[in-house]
Amino acid sequence: MKSNKSFTKRLRVTKNGKILRRKSGGNHYNAKESRSTQLNRKSNKPMQMSAKDRGRFLPGAAKKKKTS
């Protein structure tokens, strides 16, 4: 099965294997929002994924087990 590249590009895997995503709604139409709301949308948030989804959307992260 092909991995979903458009979704994969929106995620980032840390060194310890955590998956981070950006909050939605932070690109435009923010003039009415308070400054604290604008800054809160810039931060990355951790995301929970099952092993099945991790294998589909992050094919490189699912295969990081070392065998000796």
pLDDT tens-digit map of 33-63: 999 998 888 888 898 888 888 877 776 655 5
Residue range 12-26: average pLDDT?
85
In this predicted structure, the answer to whether residue 21 has a pLDDT above a threshold of 80 is yes
Rounded Cα distance, 58 and 68, in Å: 23
Q: Where does the pLDDT of residue 1 fall: very low under 50, low under 70, confident under 90, or very high at 90 and above?
A: low
pLDDT higher for 1 or 27? Answer: 27
Rounded Cα distance, 2 and 28, in Å: 32
Q: How high is the pLDDT of residue 25?
A: 82
Rounded Cα distance, 68 and 55, in Å: 22
Is domain 5-57 given the CATH code 1.10.287 in the classification?
no
Q: Where are the domains of the chain?
A: 5-57
In this predicted structure, the answer to whether residue 28 has a pLDDT above a threshold of 90 is no
